[in-house]
Amino acid sequence: MSDTPESHILVRDNGPLRVYGGVKLVDVEGNEYTVPEGESFALCRCGQSSRKPFCDGAHRTAGFDAPSDASKPVD
């Protein structure tokens, strides 16, 4: 059995936030995108995606460089 919860978010090195299963994303207009359990999607962190809030891989050519350490929360 895995120690990873069914729904979780993985911060990728210099890349997107990978969101795994059983999650509903709701935009400012109330539109919903539901991720079934066992599936995932990526959210843009670099700001360069043409498919925001989803990642389209633009971080690779944009030179995006960001820490992925989740042990330093911002208050």
> How far is the C-alpha of 48 from the C-alpha of 42, rounded, in Å?
13
40-60 pLDDT, tens digit per residue, is 899 999 999 999 999 999 999
Cβ atoms of 50 and 56 within 8 Å: the answer is yes
Scored b (16 or more CB within 10 A) or e, 16-39 reads bbebbeebeeeeeeeeeeebeeee
Q: What is the pLDDT of residue 53?
A: 92
Q: pLDDT category, 72, cuts 50, 70, 90?
A: low
> Does the domain spanning 1-67 belong to CATH 3.40.50.300?
no
Cis omega before residue 67 (within 30°)? no
Q: Which residue has the higher pLDDT, 15 or 34?
A: 15
Per the model's pLDDT, the better-predicted residue between 37 and 39 turns out to be: 39
